Amino acid sequence: MPFFKKNKEENGSISKRKWQITKRCLRLILESAKSTHPKEFGGLLRVDETTKKTIIEVVLLPGTISGNSHAIFQLHMMPIDFSVVGTVHSHPSGMPLPSEADLELFRKHGRVHIIVATPYTKTSWRAYDYNGSAIEMSVI
């Protein structure tokens, strides 16, 4: 059973949701990825409950395993929290493109996902939907 529920809009058609992320949250993600390098960083994305479209926080799961080419989430440690909408992780390789393992995670757990890559700057990250299709995300 998926931990993140997809709404009707996403189950039947392409989502029209316009995702946003706060500058503060993006800065935290980029700095966390830098500090974990050369290992992967991983976390969950939490939205503002009032807008349901603005990512405001990163949730770190206890027991997440970081390696040079993987970040393994201990999803059984996830709190019951309906504001969690997806995942974020880094690619120390420099390519912010989803791997097959990433696509499997995306399809099962969440609506929006972010991959940040070296050099971990404002331009070295990409957002994806649950199918692994690139989506636009504005920084506010």
The residues annotated with a catalytic role in the active site are: 40
Bridge partners, residue 114, by sequence? 88, 127
Task: Say if CB 19 and CB 130 are below 8 A apart.
Answer: no
- CA 96 from chain centre, in angstroms, equals 12
Q: How many CA atoms within 13 Å lie on the side-chain side of 10?
A: 15
- Give the three-class secondary structure for 21: strand
Burial class of 100 by CB neighbour count within 10 A (0 to 12, 13 to 18, 19+): exposed
Burial class of 28 by CB neighbour count within 10 A (0 to 12, 13 to 18, 19+): middle
